[in-house]
Amino acid sequence: MKRATRVGLITSGGDCQGLNAAIRGVGKALFHRVDNIEIYGMFDGYRGLIESDYKFMEPKDFSGILTEGGTILGTSRQRYVPGKDIVDDEGNSVIPQMLNTYNRLNLDCLVIMGGNGTQKSAKLISDAGMNVITLPKTIDNDIWGTDTTFGFQSAVDIATNVIDYLHSTASSHGRIFVVELMGRDAGWLTLQAGIGSGADVILIPEIPYDLNKVADMLIARRKAGRGFSIVACAEGAVSVDDVKLDEEESRRKRENSKHSTVSYEIAARLEQLTGQDTRVTVPGHYQRGGPPCAYDRVLATQFGVAAADLIINKQYGRMVAIQGGQITSIPLADAASKTKFLPVDHPMIQVARDIGISMGD
């Protein structure tokens, strides 16, 4: 009898919508297309691979999970030394333990689902001699080489919904609301949610903001009879002054700040500059919770099926992607080497400007 093809599944890093749909896509496609297949689900991300904590997955494990948020396998974050190693809390490399589990189970491939950091750590695992295929998931949409990631559209829908609900209370009280959305390095989520919800100001990491200009715009709105305003602010938004600070100066400023996040600092300053009552809303992890939207269910399923194709064809060391509406794959080395920031000349930024949204500059 032909030896079984053995595949390990890992969901690594932060959770997001669509992980279970992707797990389902991989599993169903492999069971449907490969005569002798064994699938092992690693618990809690890389921890399961490090500690040999896994489950043998049967076809029934892939049923009924399409609409579930989170991940049935659990997830965790592992310490990553950029370009060098994956380590435990004492700084010791855990790649040898990963390789030991991989070899002991006689795996043919690992399918690793994760964000930007996961693509980088998966490249190290690949370099250590394990066959790897990755799927791009993150609500930040900042993975290079793919037009979008699963989890992103669900987060956009949630963030848009949050701001939608704030319009009525902001209008009733004549307030400015600063809504802090996820996006430490890239502004894709804040831009799309800001446009989709009718925000008046959108602040993203790629375009340093000048609060004096923002305040002038908000004052002009109020004088024109628009009694409230919505500011959609990415958690990584930075001012024209702060962008000039070096890493040490930025660290000292954060440590000495009386504000817990950038949105509270912005709100306090806007209230001073405009004289208008200002409030902050931080939806936080709410943005990556709950069931995936239909778009992410379909995209994650497509990605899962594409991963099965790569396994069947023994095309390892690649990340599944979507480009121009077509499912494809790119070398993992490329995906791991760059971050997909939002270009300041992106057409959607111009769309925002053309309808009168301030980008803070």
**Model pLDDT, residue 5:** 93
110 vs 122: CA distance, rounded Å:
9
Same-domain check for residues 84 and 185:
no
148 vs 205: CA distance, rounded Å:
18
In this structure, how many other beta carbons lie within 10 angstroms of the beta carbon of residue 96?
10
16 vs 136: CA distance, rounded Å:
11
Range of the domain at 303: 5-150+292-337
Q: What is the DSSP letter of 131?
A: -
Same-domain check for residues 240 and 128:
no
DSSP letter string, 171-220? HHHT-EEEEEES-SS--HHHHHHHHHHT-SEEE-TTS-B-HHHHHHHHHH
**Half-sphere exposure (Cβ direction) of 320: Cα atoms closer than 13 Å:** 29
- How long is the chain? 361
- The CATH number of residue 314's host domain is 3.40.50.450
Q: What is the DSSP letter of 358?
A: B
Q: How far apart are the first and last CA of the chain?
A: 67
* Structural domain contains residue 347: no
Four-point Cα dihedral 10, 12, 17, 18, nearest 10: -30
Last residue of a domain, one of 270, 288, 306: 288
**Model pLDDT, residue 284:** 87
Same-domain check for residues 9 and 85:
yes
Distances in Å between the Cα of 343 and the Cα atoms of 102, 178, 188, 360 are 39, 23, 10, 16
Q: Say how many domains are in the chain.
A: 2
| Largest separation between any pair of C-alpha atoms in the chain | 80
Same-domain check for residues 163 and 264:
yes
**Model pLDDT, residue 90:** 87
**Model pLDDT, residue 19:** 97
| Residue 246 annotated among the catalytic residues of the structure | no
Question: Cβ distance 358 to 232 under 8 Å?
Answer: no
Question: What one-letter code names the amino acid at 109?
Answer: C
pLDDT one digit per residue (tens) for the chain, 361 residues: 578 899 999 999 888 999 999 999 999 999 999 999 999 999 999 999 999 999 999 999 999 999 999 999 999 888 888 888 899 988 899 999 999 999 999 999 999 999 999 999 999 999 999 999 999 999 999 999 999 999 999 999 999 999 999 999 999 999 999 999 999 899 999 999 999 999 999 999 999 999 999 999 999 999 999 999 999 999 999 999 888 877 777 777 777 777 888 999 999 999 999 999 999 999 988 899 999 999 999 999 999 999 999 999 999 999 999 999 999 999 999 999 999 999 999 999 999 999 999 999 9
- The CATH number of residue 244's host domain is 3.40.50.460
239 vs 288: CA distance, rounded Å:
26
* Structural domain contains residue 114: yes
Same-domain check for residues 110 and 205:
no
Same-domain check for residues 9 and 143:
yes
Distances in Å between the Cα of 270 and the Cα atoms of 87, 211, 245, 266 are 43, 7, 22, 6
290 vs 155: CA distance, rounded Å:
10
Same-domain check for residues 141 and 238:
no
Same-domain check for residues 63 and 80:
yes
Alpha-carbon Rg for the chain in angstroms: 22
254 vs 205: CA distance, rounded Å:
16
**Model pLDDT, residue 1:** 58
Q: Which two tokens stand for residue 186?
A: 């890239």
- Among residues 15, 44, 108, 140, which one is catalytic? 140
- Can you list the alpha helix ranges (DSSP code H) found in the chain? 19-33, 46-51, 95-104, 116-127, 152-173, 188-197, 211-223, 247-256, 262-274, 294-312, 332-337, 347-354
Cα 23–chain centre separation: 17
Distances in Å between the Cα of 185 and the Cα atoms of 94, 286, 329 are 28, 19, 24
* Structural domain contains residue 146: yes
**Interior/surface letters 254-275, b for 16+ CB within 10 angstroms, e for the rest:** eeeeeeebbbbbbbebbbebbe
45: left (phi over 0), alpha (psi -120 to 50) or beta: left
Question: Cβ distance 144 to 341 under 8 Å?
Answer: no
Same-domain check for residues 85 and 190:
no
The helix/strand/coil state of 18 is coil
- Strand duo 318-323 + 229-234: pairing: unpaired
